Homo-oligomer: A and B are copies of this chain.
Amino acid sequence: MIEKVAKSAQSAFIHLSALPEEVRNNALKEIASALKLRGDEIEKANNQDLENSIKNNYPQPLVKRLKFDQAKIQEVVDGIQSLIQLPDPIGITLSATELDAGLELYKVTSPIGVIGVIFESRPDALIQISTLCLKSGNAVLLKGGSEAMNTNHILADIIYTASLKAGIPENWMHLLETRSDVNQMLKLDEYIDLIIPRGSNEFVKYIMDNSNISVLGHADGICHVFADQSADIDMAIKVIEDSKCQYVAVCNATETLLVHDKIAAKLLPGLKTVLDKHQVRLIGCQRTAEIIDVELANEQDWKTEYLDYTLSIKIVDNIDEAIQHINTYGSGHTDAIITQDEKEAVKFMNLVDSGDVFWNCSTRFSDGFRYGLGAEVGVSTNKIHARGPVGLEGLMIYKWRLIGNGNIVSDYSSGKKKFTHKKLDKKYPL
Protein backbone atom coordinates (compact mmCIF):
# COMPACT_ATOMS: atom_id res chain seq x y z
CA MET A 1 0.00 0.00 0.00
CA ILE A 2 2.56 2.57 1.17
CA GLU A 3 4.96 1.19 -1.44
CA LYS A 4 2.48 2.23 -4.12
CA VAL A 5 2.17 5.68 -2.55
CA ALA A 6 5.95 6.08 -2.39
CA LYS A 7 6.34 4.92 -5.99
CA SER A 8 3.78 7.46 -7.18
CA ALA A 9 5.59 10.17 -5.21
CA GLN A 10 8.87 9.22 -6.88
CA SER A 11 7.31 9.54 -10.27
CA ALA A 12 5.72 12.90 -9.34
CA PHE A 13 9.12 14.09 -8.12
CA ILE A 14 10.65 13.68 -11.59
CA HIS A 15 8.17 16.15 -13.07
CA LEU A 16 8.07 18.47 -10.06
CA SER A 17 11.86 18.78 -10.12
CA ALA A 18 11.79 20.00 -13.72
CA LEU A 19 9.09 22.67 -13.25
CA PRO A 20 10.17 26.29 -13.63
CA GLU A 21 10.57 28.40 -10.50
CA GLU A 22 7.49 30.45 -11.45
CA VAL A 23 5.16 27.45 -11.26
CA ARG A 24 6.49 26.40 -7.87
CA ASN A 25 6.23 29.95 -6.48
CA ASN A 26 2.72 30.38 -7.88
CA ALA A 27 1.71 27.18 -6.16
CA LEU A 28 3.07 28.56 -2.88
CA LYS A 29 0.96 31.70 -3.42
CA GLU A 30 -2.14 29.55 -4.07
CA ILE A 31 -1.46 27.63 -0.88
CA ALA A 32 -1.09 30.82 1.18
CA SER A 33 -4.39 32.16 -0.17
CA ALA A 34 -6.20 28.88 0.38
CA LEU A 35 -5.00 28.65 3.98
CA LYS A 36 -6.45 32.09 4.72
CA LEU A 37 -9.64 31.42 2.78
CA ARG A 38 -10.32 28.16 4.58
CA GLY A 39 -9.23 29.38 8.02
CA ASP A 40 -12.61 28.59 9.58
CA GLU A 41 -12.46 24.98 8.44
CA ILE A 42 -8.96 24.71 9.90
CA GLU A 43 -10.04 26.11 13.25
CA LYS A 44 -13.03 23.82 13.37
CA ALA A 45 -10.88 20.75 12.74
CA ASN A 46 -8.32 21.96 15.24
CA ASN A 47 -11.00 22.46 17.90
CA GLN A 48 -11.99 18.84 17.45
CA ASP A 49 -8.40 17.76 18.03
CA LEU A 50 -8.13 20.02 21.07
CA GLU A 51 -11.34 18.62 22.54
CA ASN A 52 -10.14 15.05 22.01
CA SER A 53 -6.80 15.86 23.61
CA ILE A 54 -8.41 17.32 26.69
CA LYS A 55 -10.83 14.39 26.83
CA ASN A 56 -7.86 12.01 26.63
CA ASN A 57 -5.97 13.92 29.33
CA TYR A 58 -2.99 14.64 27.11
CA PRO A 59 -0.26 16.64 28.88
CA GLN A 60 -0.70 20.42 28.86
CA PRO A 61 2.42 21.28 26.75
CA LEU A 62 1.26 18.87 24.03
CA VAL A 63 -2.20 20.43 23.94
CA LYS A 64 -0.61 23.88 23.77
CA ARG A 65 1.56 22.94 20.79
CA LEU A 66 -1.49 21.47 19.09
CA LYS A 67 -3.45 24.72 19.03
CA PHE A 68 -3.80 26.18 15.54
CA ASP A 69 -5.84 29.38 15.44
CA GLN A 70 -6.08 32.42 13.12
CA ALA A 71 -2.89 33.88 14.59
CA LYS A 72 -1.03 30.65 13.77
CA ILE A 73 -2.49 30.64 10.28
CA GLN A 74 -1.22 34.18 9.73
CA GLU A 75 2.19 33.09 11.01
CA VAL A 76 2.49 30.19 8.56
CA VAL A 77 1.18 32.34 5.71
CA ASP A 78 3.91 34.89 6.50
CA GLY A 79 6.38 32.03 6.45
CA ILE A 80 5.20 30.97 2.99
CA GLN A 81 5.49 34.57 1.72
CA SER A 82 9.12 34.75 2.80
CA LEU A 83 9.79 31.29 1.34
CA ILE A 84 8.54 32.60 -2.03
CA GLN A 85 11.11 35.43 -1.78
CA LEU A 86 14.03 33.04 -1.30
CA PRO A 87 16.20 32.44 -4.38
CA ASP A 88 15.41 29.28 -6.35
CA PRO A 89 17.63 26.49 -4.98
CA ILE A 90 17.28 24.44 -8.20
CA GLY A 91 19.64 24.86 -11.14
CA ILE A 92 22.50 26.67 -9.42
CA THR A 93 25.78 25.98 -11.24
CA LEU A 94 28.25 24.81 -8.58
CA SER A 95 31.14 24.34 -10.99
CA ALA A 96 31.83 24.42 -14.72
CA THR A 97 34.82 22.74 -16.35
CA GLU A 98 35.97 22.43 -19.94
CA LEU A 99 37.16 18.81 -20.17
CA ASP A 100 38.30 19.52 -23.74
CA ALA A 101 37.28 21.99 -26.46
CA GLY A 102 33.56 21.39 -27.00
CA LEU A 103 33.18 19.02 -24.05
CA GLU A 104 31.82 20.90 -21.05
CA LEU A 105 30.95 19.58 -17.61
CA TYR A 106 28.54 21.34 -15.26
CA LYS A 107 27.72 20.47 -11.64
CA VAL A 108 24.21 21.81 -11.13
CA THR A 109 21.98 21.69 -8.03
CA SER A 110 18.84 19.55 -8.14
CA PRO A 111 16.35 18.31 -5.54
CA ILE A 112 17.00 15.01 -3.79
CA GLY A 113 13.78 13.12 -4.56
CA VAL A 114 11.23 11.82 -2.09
CA ILE A 115 11.49 13.05 1.50
CA GLY A 116 9.75 11.25 4.35
CA VAL A 117 8.83 13.57 7.22
CA ILE A 118 7.53 12.40 10.56
CA PHE A 119 6.52 15.00 13.11
CA GLU A 120 4.71 15.15 16.41
CA SER A 121 1.90 17.36 17.59
CA ARG A 122 2.61 20.82 16.04
CA PRO A 123 0.53 21.05 12.87
CA ASP A 124 2.54 24.01 11.51
CA ALA A 125 5.37 21.53 10.87
CA LEU A 126 3.18 19.99 8.16
CA ILE A 127 2.85 23.32 6.37
CA GLN A 128 6.47 24.30 6.84
CA ILE A 129 7.97 21.09 5.57
CA SER A 130 5.59 20.54 2.68
CA THR A 131 6.12 24.08 1.37
CA LEU A 132 9.90 23.72 1.79
CA CYS A 133 9.73 20.53 -0.27
CA LEU A 134 7.59 22.20 -2.91
CA LYS A 135 9.94 25.19 -3.20
CA SER A 136 12.90 22.86 -3.58
CA GLY A 137 11.21 20.44 -6.02
CA ASN A 138 11.05 17.44 -3.70
CA ALA A 139 8.10 15.09 -3.24
CA VAL A 140 7.10 14.41 0.35
CA LEU A 141 5.39 11.77 2.48
CA LEU A 142 4.17 13.20 5.77
CA LYS A 143 3.06 11.60 9.01
CA GLY A 144 1.85 13.76 11.87
CA GLY A 145 0.84 12.90 15.40
CA SER A 146 -2.55 11.17 15.78
CA GLU A 147 -3.59 13.86 18.29
CA ALA A 148 -3.54 16.41 15.41
CA MET A 149 -5.26 14.10 12.94
CA ASN A 150 -8.18 16.38 12.02
CA THR A 151 -6.03 19.49 11.69
CA ASN A 152 -3.42 17.67 9.61
CA HIS A 153 -6.10 16.25 7.33
CA ILE A 154 -7.59 19.60 6.46
CA LEU A 155 -4.16 21.26 6.11
CA ALA A 156 -2.89 18.54 3.77
CA ASP A 157 -6.08 18.76 1.75
CA ILE A 158 -5.79 22.55 1.40
CA ILE A 159 -2.11 22.40 0.40
CA TYR A 160 -2.53 19.53 -2.04
CA THR A 161 -5.63 20.94 -3.73
CA ALA A 162 -4.13 24.42 -4.10
CA SER A 163 -0.85 23.06 -5.47
CA LEU A 164 -2.59 20.92 -8.10
CA LYS A 165 -4.62 23.95 -9.16
CA ALA A 166 -1.31 25.75 -9.79
CA GLY A 167 0.03 22.94 -11.98
CA ILE A 168 2.05 20.82 -9.53
CA PRO A 169 1.95 17.12 -10.54
CA GLU A 170 -0.43 14.76 -8.75
CA ASN A 171 0.91 12.57 -5.95
CA TRP A 172 3.79 14.89 -5.05
CA MET A 173 2.52 14.90 -1.46
CA HIS A 174 0.87 12.23 0.68
CA LEU A 175 -0.37 12.24 4.24
CA LEU A 176 0.23 8.90 5.95
CA GLU A 177 -2.33 7.76 8.48
CA THR A 178 -0.98 5.20 10.90
CA ARG A 179 2.12 4.05 12.72
CA SER A 180 2.14 0.98 10.56
CA ASP A 181 2.34 3.30 7.52
CA VAL A 182 5.47 4.83 9.05
CA ASN A 183 7.03 1.46 9.72
CA GLN A 184 6.38 0.50 6.12
CA MET A 185 7.86 3.78 4.91
CA LEU A 186 11.08 3.24 6.87
CA LYS A 187 11.74 0.13 4.77
CA LEU A 188 11.22 1.77 1.37
CA ASP A 189 14.79 2.82 0.62
CA GLU A 190 14.12 2.12 -3.05
CA TYR A 191 11.71 5.04 -3.26
CA ILE A 192 12.51 7.34 -0.36
CA ASP A 193 15.79 9.23 -0.27
CA LEU A 194 15.81 11.02 3.06
CA ILE A 195 13.89 10.87 6.33
CA ILE A 196 13.44 13.97 8.48
CA PRO A 197 12.04 13.14 11.91
CA ARG A 198 10.90 15.99 14.13
CA GLY A 199 10.09 15.12 17.68
CA SER A 200 11.43 13.74 20.92
CA ASN A 201 14.85 12.15 21.20
CA GLU A 202 13.47 8.67 21.77
CA PHE A 203 11.37 9.10 18.65
CA VAL A 204 14.30 10.23 16.46
CA LYS A 205 16.47 7.41 17.85
CA TYR A 206 13.75 4.92 16.99
CA ILE A 207 13.66 6.18 13.39
CA MET A 208 17.46 6.05 13.08
CA ASP A 209 17.56 2.51 14.42
CA ASN A 210 14.78 1.25 12.18
CA SER A 211 15.60 2.51 8.72
CA ASN A 212 18.28 2.09 6.08
CA ILE A 213 17.31 5.46 4.67
CA SER A 214 19.51 8.44 5.58
CA VAL A 215 18.12 10.48 8.44
CA LEU A 216 18.58 14.22 8.76
CA GLY A 217 18.21 15.26 12.35
CA HIS A 218 19.56 15.05 15.83
CA ALA A 219 18.71 12.66 18.59
CA ASP A 220 20.44 14.58 21.38
CA GLY A 221 21.37 18.16 21.99
CA ILE A 222 23.90 17.99 24.79
CA CYS A 223 25.45 21.46 24.51
CA HIS A 224 28.26 22.88 26.63
CA VAL A 225 29.64 26.22 27.67
CA PHE A 226 33.30 26.22 28.73
CA ALA A 227 34.37 29.18 30.87
CA ASP A 228 38.11 29.42 30.29
CA GLN A 229 40.59 30.85 32.81
CA SER A 230 40.72 34.20 31.02
CA ALA A 231 36.94 34.54 30.65
CA ASP A 232 35.39 37.91 31.43
CA ILE A 233 33.34 36.98 34.48
CA ASP A 234 30.38 39.26 33.74
CA MET A 235 30.24 38.09 30.13
CA ALA A 236 30.47 34.46 31.23
CA ILE A 237 27.54 34.83 33.64
CA LYS A 238 25.43 36.61 31.02
CA VAL A 239 26.13 34.03 28.30
CA ILE A 240 25.66 31.03 30.61
CA GLU A 241 22.36 32.45 31.88
CA ASP A 242 21.12 32.89 28.31
CA SER A 243 22.45 29.51 27.12
CA LYS A 244 20.70 27.70 29.98
CA CYS A 245 17.59 29.74 30.72
CA GLN A 246 16.46 31.63 27.61
CA TYR A 247 14.40 28.59 26.53
CA VAL A 248 15.13 25.34 28.30
CA ALA A 249 13.07 22.85 26.27
CA VAL A 250 15.15 23.04 23.09
CA CYS A 251 18.13 21.22 21.67
CA ASN A 252 20.50 24.21 21.66
CA ALA A 253 20.04 25.01 25.36
CA THR A 254 23.17 24.30 27.39
CA GLU A 255 23.13 21.24 29.63
CA THR A 256 26.67 21.22 31.05
CA LEU A 257 28.94 24.03 32.17
CA LEU A 258 32.68 23.37 32.24
CA VAL A 259 34.72 25.79 34.35
CA HIS A 260 38.48 26.26 34.35
CA ASP A 261 39.82 25.57 37.83
CA LYS A 262 41.55 28.96 37.93
CA ILE A 263 38.31 30.99 37.71
CA ALA A 264 35.88 28.63 39.43
CA ALA A 265 35.95 30.44 42.78
CA LYS A 266 35.47 33.81 41.07
CA LEU A 267 32.71 32.70 38.69
CA LEU A 268 30.54 30.17 40.47
CA PRO A 269 29.09 32.14 43.43
CA GLY A 270 27.96 35.04 41.23
CA LEU A 271 26.62 32.65 38.63
CA LYS A 272 24.64 30.78 41.26
CA THR A 273 22.96 34.01 42.38
CA VAL A 274 21.79 34.63 38.80
CA LEU A 275 20.69 31.04 38.14
CA ASP A 276 18.86 30.89 41.48
CA LYS A 277 16.54 33.61 40.17
CA HIS A 278 15.47 31.15 37.47
CA GLN A 279 15.31 28.35 40.07
CA VAL A 280 17.86 26.33 38.11
CA ARG A 281 18.63 23.02 39.75
CA LEU A 282 22.43 22.73 40.00
CA ILE A 283 24.28 19.44 39.82
CA GLY A 284 28.06 19.56 40.17
CA CYS A 285 31.26 17.60 40.50
CA GLN A 286 32.99 17.26 43.87
CA ARG A 287 35.17 20.33 43.26
CA THR A 288 32.12 22.42 42.36
CA ALA A 289 30.46 21.30 45.57
CA GLU A 290 33.40 22.73 47.51
CA ILE A 291 32.60 26.21 46.16
CA ILE A 292 28.81 26.37 45.84
CA ASP A 293 25.85 24.39 47.07
CA VAL A 294 25.00 21.73 44.42
CA GLU A 295 23.70 18.17 44.22
CA LEU A 296 26.57 15.78 43.48
CA ALA A 297 26.84 14.73 39.83
CA ASN A 298 27.34 11.17 38.66
CA GLU A 299 28.66 9.85 35.32
CA GLN A 300 25.12 9.76 33.91
CA ASP A 301 24.69 13.51 34.35
CA TRP A 302 27.34 14.33 31.74
CA LYS A 303 25.33 12.33 29.18
CA THR A 304 21.94 13.79 30.03
CA GLU A 305 19.92 16.26 28.02
CA TYR A 306 17.78 17.77 30.79
CA LEU A 307 15.65 20.03 28.56
CA ASP A 308 14.73 21.71 31.83
CA TYR A 309 15.95 24.23 34.41
CA THR A 310 18.83 21.92 35.37
CA LEU A 311 22.54 22.50 34.82
CA SER A 312 25.43 20.12 35.45
CA ILE A 313 28.74 21.77 36.32
CA LYS A 314 32.24 20.35 36.13
CA ILE A 315 35.53 21.99 37.03
CA VAL A 316 38.39 21.08 34.67
CA ASP A 317 42.14 21.60 35.03
CA ASN A 318 42.67 23.01 31.55
CA ILE A 319 41.19 23.55 28.10
CA ASP A 320 42.32 20.10 26.94
CA GLU A 321 40.23 18.44 29.61
CA ALA A 322 37.27 20.59 28.56
CA ILE A 323 37.65 19.62 24.89
CA GLN A 324 38.07 15.97 25.80
CA HIS A 325 34.94 16.09 27.98
CA ILE A 326 32.87 17.66 25.18
CA ASN A 327 34.08 15.22 22.53
CA THR A 328 33.33 12.32 24.89
CA TYR A 329 29.97 13.30 26.36
CA GLY A 330 28.61 15.88 23.90
CA SER A 331 26.30 15.15 21.03
CA GLY A 332 28.16 17.12 18.37
CA HIS A 333 25.51 19.85 18.41
CA THR A 334 26.67 23.25 19.75
CA ASP A 335 29.46 24.12 22.16
CA ALA A 336 30.79 27.51 23.22
CA ILE A 337 33.95 28.83 24.86
CA ILE A 338 34.03 32.02 26.90
CA THR A 339 37.56 33.42 26.86
CA GLN A 340 39.50 36.63 26.28
CA ASP A 341 42.40 34.59 24.88
CA GLU A 342 42.16 34.21 21.08
CA LYS A 343 44.63 31.29 21.05
CA GLU A 344 42.42 29.30 23.39
CA ALA A 345 39.36 30.13 21.28
CA VAL A 346 41.11 28.91 18.12
CA LYS A 347 42.13 25.69 19.86
CA PHE A 348 38.63 25.07 21.19
CA MET A 349 36.93 25.74 17.85
CA ASN A 350 39.37 23.54 15.96
CA LEU A 351 39.35 20.59 18.35
CA VAL A 352 35.72 20.42 19.45
CA ASP A 353 34.10 18.08 16.93
CA SER A 354 30.63 19.62 16.84
CA GLY A 355 28.51 21.09 14.09
CA ASP A 356 28.50 24.50 15.76
CA VAL A 357 31.43 25.93 17.73
CA PHE A 358 31.03 29.37 19.30
CA TRP A 359 33.31 31.95 20.87
CA ASN A 360 31.88 34.37 23.45
CA CYS A 361 28.21 33.94 22.64
CA SER A 362 25.21 31.88 23.67
CA THR A 363 24.61 28.32 22.40
CA ARG A 364 21.00 29.42 21.75
CA PHE A 365 22.11 31.16 18.52
CA SER A 366 22.38 27.75 16.84
CA ASP A 367 19.23 27.95 14.75
CA GLY A 368 18.36 28.32 11.06
CA PHE A 369 16.40 31.55 11.44
CA ARG A 370 19.06 33.20 13.61
CA TYR A 371 21.71 32.04 11.12
CA GLY A 372 19.76 33.81 8.36
CA LEU A 373 19.14 30.61 6.39
CA GLY A 374 15.63 31.85 5.59
CA ALA A 375 13.91 28.59 6.35
CA GLU A 376 14.90 25.72 8.59
CA VAL A 377 14.64 22.10 7.56
CA GLY A 378 16.05 20.94 10.87
CA VAL A 379 19.25 20.73 12.89
CA SER A 380 21.61 17.93 11.99
CA THR A 381 24.21 16.19 14.11
CA ASN A 382 25.14 14.02 11.13
CA LYS A 383 28.62 14.40 9.78
CA ILE A 384 27.75 13.94 6.13
CA HIS A 385 25.51 15.94 3.76
CA ALA A 386 24.46 18.71 6.15
CA ARG A 387 25.55 19.73 9.63
CA GLY A 388 24.10 22.07 12.25
CA PRO A 389 21.07 24.17 11.31
CA VAL A 390 19.98 23.13 7.82
CA GLY A 391 18.24 25.44 5.39
CA LEU A 392 16.78 24.68 1.99
CA GLU A 393 20.20 23.48 0.76
CA GLY A 394 19.75 20.39 2.95
CA LEU A 395 17.00 19.30 0.54
CA MET A 396 19.30 19.69 -2.45
CA ILE A 397 21.92 17.58 -4.21
CA TYR A 398 23.40 18.02 -7.68
CA LYS A 399 23.65 16.37 -11.06
CA TRP A 400 26.73 16.30 -13.28
CA ARG A 401 25.69 17.48 -16.75
CA LEU A 402 28.13 16.82 -19.60
CA ILE A 403 27.61 18.37 -23.04
CA GLY A 404 29.64 17.08 -25.98
CA ASN A 405 29.56 16.66 -29.69
CA GLY A 406 30.19 12.97 -30.22
CA ASN A 407 33.17 12.76 -27.84
CA ILE A 408 34.47 9.30 -26.95
CA VAL A 409 36.84 8.12 -24.22
CA SER A 410 39.05 6.00 -26.47
CA ASP A 411 40.43 9.20 -28.06
CA TYR A 412 41.78 10.16 -24.64
CA SER A 413 42.96 6.76 -23.48
CA SER A 414 44.82 6.28 -26.78
CA GLY A 415 46.53 9.65 -26.30
CA LYS A 416 45.05 11.08 -29.50
CA LYS A 417 43.40 13.82 -27.45
CA LYS A 418 44.23 15.40 -24.10
CA PHE A 419 41.96 16.73 -21.38
CA THR A 420 42.26 20.49 -20.76
CA HIS A 421 40.40 20.56 -17.39
CA LYS A 422 39.98 24.33 -17.59
CA LYS A 423 37.69 25.97 -15.00
CA LEU A 424 34.95 27.89 -16.78
CA ASP A 425 33.37 31.00 -15.34
CA LYS A 426 29.91 30.40 -16.71
CA LYS A 427 26.53 29.00 -15.83
CA TYR A 428 24.96 25.82 -17.18
CA PRO A 429 23.62 27.00 -20.55
CA LEU A 430 20.62 24.68 -21.16
Contacts and interface: CB of A to CB of B under 8 A. Distances in A.
A430 B339 CA distance: 14
A410 B242 contact: yes
A173 to B, nearest CB: 18
Given A17-B350, A212-B209, A400 B387 contact: yes
Given A18-B350, A214-B384, A359 B404 contact: yes
Nearest to A402: B358
Contact of A354 (B372, B384, B399): B399
Nearest to A232: B406
B383 A193 contact: yes
B402 A359 contact: yes
Contact of A365 (B13, B18, B99, B208): B99
B99 A408 contact: no
Interface string A394-418: 0001111111111111101100000
Given A400-B388, A430-B349, A383 B327 contact: no
Interface residues of A, number: 76
Interface in A96-122: 97, 99, 103, 105, 112-113
B408 A370 contact: no
A18 to B, nearest CB: 4
A157 B337 CA distance: 39
Question: 7 shortest A-B CB distances, which residue pairs?
Answer: A361-B404, A372-B421, A242-B408, A364-B409, A235-B406, A385-B385, A18-B350
11 contacts: A11-B327, A18-B351, A99-B372, A103-B365, A357-B400, A357-B401, A359-B401, A360-B405, A364-B408, A370-B419, A385-B385
Interface of A: 11, 13-15, 17-18, 97, 99, 103, 105, 112-113, 193-194, 208-209, 212, 214, 232, 235, 238-239, 241-242, 246-247, 323, 327, 342, 345-346, 349-351, 353-362, 364-366, 370-372, 382-385, 387-389, 397-410, 412-413, 419, 421, 430
